[in-house]
Chain A
């Protein structure tokens, strides 16, 4: 689950959630920045030694991006563009070291969650987006920690 489109897809979903709170005019430039940066990075040959670093950057970018839903007024045009480019670069780097170019086709559409997200925000239901973003942050924290911590394995459950 660490390779392929999974991590970039979560990152794109986080971007979609953040853009749900952004001004309408800043969404398209951000999405274009996402696609351009992702395609550019996906074809940059990164050495396998960069794999863990690429994933760490991806999870850190995801946490930062998902946290933007709490920014009062949402991310402005410049920040939205930066988030799109950042997400694209981080996602593209993952594809470069741990996937194939077609993984982008599976990951990038998740940024379109900004459309139903904006619909929810416009109706005062942005709470759902904020809660879902916190789930993404939790997953990213765990995912970032997994490679650097030895997991205990199948130890007796606290309920056993």
Chain B
């Protein structure tokens, strides 16, 4: 059973793929690195997972499922050339509000939490989509940034597991407060921008 994924991985790996001179590595790596390249993206992604873990089932599943899907739609909007309000403000607000929700232990109903995360996902997706490189491999770039985003959510959920320990909720709320403070800074920087 355990070797099934190994067989699948081995079957698709091509030994020369990192040396063939194609844009594959650059596209994927650039996309994967993008969410890690800015603390605003990174903190928002982690906050989504952390808030989901704080809210428990079903939102621990729903939020990380909604975010990448809506984010892809946001990227699509960027690719067709739609204009949105300043993206930096939306992203900074996402960091501030998601951090604030964790710090304040806000137990939003399912629809509200989904709506909030969905709206912010559009801004993050829009930022990624407007930067999709046309010269590199855009599909590989997309795979990279979706994977990185998902892994950051998982990191947030993993951090949120500390809630189960005594005093864990205070630690989580403290982390949320730190994220919110960063959000204030991002918002200040974006408004000066």
Give residues in A with beta carbon < 8 Å to B. 1-2, 5-6, 9, 13, 105-107, 109-110, 112-113, 115-116, 119, 127, 130-135, 137-139, 141-143, 145-146, 149-155, 157-159
| B: interface residue count bin | 35 or more
B142 within 8 A of A: yes
Q: Which of B1, B12, B64 contacts A119 (CB 8 A)?
A: B1
The answer to the question of B174 belonging to the interface, with a C-beta cut-off of 8 Å to chain A, is no
The complex places the Cα of A2 from the Cα of B142 at a distance, in Å, of 12
- B18 is an interface residue with CB less than 8 A from chain A: no
Complex contact A152–B5 (CB within 8 A): no
Complex contact A149–B147 (CB within 8 A)? no
B contact set with A: CB distance below 8 Å: 1-2, 4-5, 7-8, 11-12, 24, 27, 37-38, 40, 60-61, 64-69, 71-73, 75-76, 78-81, 87-88, 91, 127, 129-135, 137-140, 142-143, 146-147, 150, 153-154
The interface centre, meaning the residue of B71, B129, B132 with most chain A CB atoms within 10 A of its CB, is B132
Do the beta carbons of B40 and A159 come within 8 Å of each other? yes
The CA-CA distance from A9 to B12 in the complex, in Å, is 8
Interface centre among A105, A133, A153, by most chain B C-beta atoms within 10 angstroms, is A153
Pick 7 A–B contacts, CB within 8 A, sort by A. Answer: A134-B64, A139-B146, A142-B138, A142-B142, A146-B132, A149-B79, A153-B133
Task: Check B76 against A112 for contact (C-beta < 8 Å).
Answer: no
B1, A137: Cβ atoms under 8 Å? no
Whether the Cβ atoms of B12 and A154 lie closer than 8 Å is no
Instruction: A105-B11, A112-B5 are known; give 5 further A-B pairs, CB within 8 A.
Output: A1-B139, A13-B8, A151-B133, A152-B78, A154-B134
Nearest neighbor of B23 in chain A, beta-carbon distance: A1
Pairwise interchain contact A159-B27, C-beta atoms closer than 8 A: no
Name the residue in B12, B66, B129 with the highest tally of chain A Cβ atoms < 10 Å from its Cβ: B12
Interchain CB contact under 8 A, B8 and A134: no
**A115 contacts B4, CB within 8 Å?**
yes
Contact call B79/A151, Cβ cutoff below 8 A: yes
CB distance from B55 to the nearest CB of A (A): 14
- Chain B residues with Cβ below 8 Å from A151 are 79, 132-134, 138
